[in-house]
Amino acid sequence: MERRVVITAASAITPIGHTREEIVAGLENGVSGVKKLREDVELAEFIHSQVFGTVDYDIDFDFKRKYRKTMGPVAYYACQVAKEVIEKTGLKSEFITSGRLGVAFGSIHGSPTVQRGIYRCFSSGSSREFAAIGAVDYLKSMVHTTAVNITKMFGITGRVISSSTACTTSSQSIGFGYETVKYGLQDAMLCGGADEYDTATVAVFDNLLACSTDFNDTPHLTPRPFDVRRDGLVVGEGAGAVMLEEYEFARKRGADILAEVIGFACNNNGGDMILPNARGVSAAIRIGIDNAGISPDEVDFICAHATATKMGDVVEAQAIDRIYGDNPYVSGLKSYMGHTMAACGAIEMVLTLYMMQDGFIAPTLNLDEIDKRCAMVRHVTGLLEKNIRIATIQNFAFGGVNTTLFIKKFE
């Protein structure tokens, strides 16, 4: 039997803020979280792109030492948003440890602690540098470090899903969590994703000529999704999390319901590992619409993947036009904070929830002149007061992975 799935709490750490108030203010006032690349970054002199979506404010990570010792920065981010989400739900410890709550959380990789040790070893020419790698550094660096550090900190004994599919990591986590609750395998799932600064990630996209380089001296002017002057993505960092609960379970305990998850799709292009594919993206949108049981004209807002790469934005605009025409409003929220990699789907879900609750749509930042090849969709170029009833969050990843999530305002 299929069950309704609702969102009962959300939290995010982003380059434009941490609290709900900070993030909403950033969206409403067009604040950019993109800054100059930190000067202390190893190998920074070899990277062409000198901009980054930076979390440059203090966060009070009030974690006990027994939890901290297995955590790198990415797990700190993940556990902080998880902690805030759990606190907001008011779920009792008996339920949290009962086995009926699971975790679906991921990152592109764990903390780059081991990478830094290897770099020091090669740069110094001495294997003694490996001594700087501690006994628990593997636990900080493994791909599922975010998920298992969350389970450890809160004593969660239910299902663990740790997706690691690049830019679709956290949207997959939310989607798989949605299916887990929908089909009765768990009563609730804590879902999301996180990523920290990593030179290797920046260098990979830089070497692929996919990173923004034209605005190194004016970081707030990039990325520029759908704009004629866009010149690539900006790598960012952060974390996002949501609590998904079965509707009757949430209702009976008097939970604050933020929205309902009504659909999810995940597919693969079945072809090139890097280049976007309009056919595959369009199919993911269609599958998601069918899964949600709605028609395309019921969707009010599309939170586009919109990385500001030359072809990615064109392919996404073509796919949106093919399925929706110019009916839904479209914004690219990465324009505010860069591409937060594994965290992007969860962060964009949280920001979309905030806009849905407050009745506005933030415009795509830096969209000064729309590329004619992307002009067929309904771009938001100024702050818009709008009641969003149904929204979709779209994410696409290297390896040809596509996801779409659909949420509905709870009424």
Rounded Cα distance between 235 and 93, Å, is 37
Looking at per-residue pLDDT, the higher value among 404 and 40 belongs to: 404
Q: Which of 89, 130, 96, 94 is nearest to 113 (CA)?
A: 130
Domains and CATH numbers, the chain: 5-409 (3.40.47.10)
Beta strands in 125-258 (DSSP E): 160-161, 188-195, 238-246
Count of other CB atoms within 10 angstroms of residue 182:
18
Q: What is the rounded average pLDDT of the residues 391-411?
A: 97
Separation in Å, CA 350 to CA 151, 191, 192, 392: 22, 11, 10, 12
pLDDT score at 347:
98
Per-residue CA distances from 320 to 56, 231, 240 (Å): 34, 21, 25
Q: What are the pLDDT digits (tens) for 386-400?
A: 999 999 999 999 999
For residue range 118-128, what is the model confidence (pLDDT) as tens digits? 566 656 666 66
Distance CA 411, CA 408 (A): 9
Q: Do the bridges between strand 101-106 and strand 51-53 make them parallel or antiparallel, or are there none, so unpaired? A: unpaired
> Which backbone phi and psi does 109 adopt, to 5 degrees?
-155, 170
Where do we find the tokens 């764990």? Answer: 110
For 150-179, write each residue's pLDDT tens digit: 999 999 999 999 999 999 999 999 999 999
Q: What does the mean pLDDT of the chain come to? A: 94
Q: Whole-prediction pTM value?
A: 0.96
Report the SS3 class of residue 159: coil
Other residues' Cβ atoms within 10 Å of the Cβ of residue 40: 6
Residues ≥6 apart with Cβ < 8 Å to 411 = none
Q: Residue 80: left (phi > 0), alpha (psi -120 to 50), or beta?
A: alpha
Say how many C-beta atoms besides its own lie within 10 A of residue 387's C-beta.
Answer: 10
Closest CA to 243 of 177, 184, 146: 177
Residue 27's Cβ-side half-sphere holds a number of Cα atoms within 13 Å equal to: 29
Tens digits of residue pLDDT in 235-253 = 999 999 999 999 999 999 9
> Residue 204: what pLDDT?
86
Give the model confidence (pLDDT) of 308-340 as tens digits. 999 999 999 999 999 999 999 999 999 999 999
Q: What angle do CA 351, 403, 289 make, to 5 degrees?
A: 90
pLDDT higher than 80, residue 130: no
Q: How many residues does the chain have?
A: 411
Q: Which residues are catalytic?
A: 167, 305, 339
Q: Does the pLDDT at position 117 exceed 80?
A: no
Whole-number Cα distances in Å, 303 to 58, 162, 240, 300: 28, 24, 15, 10
Closest CA to 177 of 162, 198, 165, 167: 162
